[in-house]
Amino acid sequence: MKISTKGRYGLTIMIELAKQYGQGPIPLRQIASQNNLSEAYLEQLVSPLRNSGLVKSVRGAYGGYMLSKPPHLISSADVIKVLEGPIQPVEGIEEEAPAQRQLWLRVRDAVKEVLEKTSLEDLASYTEEPDDKGYMFYI
């Protein structure tokens, strides 16, 4: 399974909103600038996130976007499903031989579990220092 720039940049938007949760709306230009991303592309990504109810928009001079609920209540799976569709490691699992089908279903379930158990709050609290296994750890 390959997550496209839609999913990756969409998670970037959501993590930045999670980091600033409760501080009011955040302009996309700020997120784009901080992450060296195209504001126009982020505009395209925030629309489905808004339509799905994950973010709210505020118009006006001090407008921008904010999470529609606390970051601990939004999983990374919620974001990926909106932007990428169903989590599926291979196309046509149904046509696979039984042994391979079981493998791909286990891979799918493992990926889903990690995404579902990882909230935006978790992602927003990662530090830049890896642990002894190379994973980032929580503050």
Q: In the chain, pLDDT over 90 holds for what percent of residues?
A: 76
pLDDT at 129: 64
Asked if 55 and 11 count as a contact pair (C-beta separation under 8 A), the reply is no
* This prediction's pTM: 0.87
Confidence of residue 139 (pLDDT cuts 50, 70, 90): very low
* Domain coverage including residue 57: 5-138
Each residue of 23-66: pLDDT tens digit? 999 999 999 999 999 999 999 999 999 999 999 999 988 899 99
82-126, pLDDT tens digit by residue?
999 998 888 888 888 999 999 999 999 999 999 999 999 999 998
For residues 82, 86, 88, 91, the Cα torsion angle rounded to the nearest 10 degrees is -110
Q: What whole-number distance in Å separates Cα of residue 108 and Cα of residue 55? A: 27
CATH of the domain at 130: 1.10.10.10
Give how many domains the chain has, as a whole number.
Answer: 1
